[in-house]
């Protein structure tokens, strides 16, 4: 019986350890890439939510002066473009919101905040929507 490790055993053990280290570095690299990409998506989401909050503030201040005739607005933040669009809302005979037709509800608007940015040479867009009503009747 031979004692100790042979050269073949040392080479095999080194190859296994090297493969494990390379795999860990690959996973770490993928994690960093994903984290950096998500940072832009998170910032875009915050900008979209902030846009909805600004429209709510304008609604609270005065529906007739600020919201009633507003259709859209665009603002720029660094490499982000935020567009807020206000659309008409229609209701059926049961007072439920429907996509088209029905009766126009002048005290409700569909608000959509869309944030676009350049990502890997293509435009990426994150958008959120909500309904806004004239709750203060102002």
pLDDT tens track for 54-78? 999 999 999 999 998 999 999 999 9
| Residue 1 predicted with pLDDT over 60 | no
Reported confidence tier of residue 120, pLDDT bands at 50, 70, 90: confident
Pick from 13, 15, 34: which is nearest to 23 by CA? 15
- Phi first, then psi: give them for residue 40, nearest 5 degrees: -70, -40
Q: What gap in Å lies between CA 15 and CA 39, rounded to an integer? A: 36
Distance CA 99, CA 136 (A): 25
Rounded distance between C-alpha atoms, residue 127 and residue 41, angstroms: 11
pLDDT score at 119: 85
- Place 33 in a pLDDT band, splitting at 50, 70 and 90: confident
Average pLDDT over residues 91-98: 94
């Amino acid at each position: 019986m031979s004692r100790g490790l042979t050269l073949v055993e040392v080479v095999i053990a080194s190859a296994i350890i090297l493969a494990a280290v390379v795999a860990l570095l690959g996973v770490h690299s993928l994690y960093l890439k994903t984290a950096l990409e998500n940072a832009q998506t998170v910032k875009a989401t915050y900008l979209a939510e902030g846009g909805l909050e600004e429209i709510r503030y304008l609604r609270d201040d005065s529906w007739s002066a600020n919201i009633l005739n507003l259709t859209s607005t665009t603002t720029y933040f660094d490499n982000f473009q935020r567009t807020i669009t206000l659309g008409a809302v229609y209701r059926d005979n049961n007072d439920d919101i429907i996509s088209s037709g029905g009766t126009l509800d002048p005290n409700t608007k569909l608000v959509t905040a869309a944030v676009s940015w350049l990502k890997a040479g293509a435009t990426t867009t994150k958008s959120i929507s909500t309904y806004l009503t004239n709750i203060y009747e102002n």
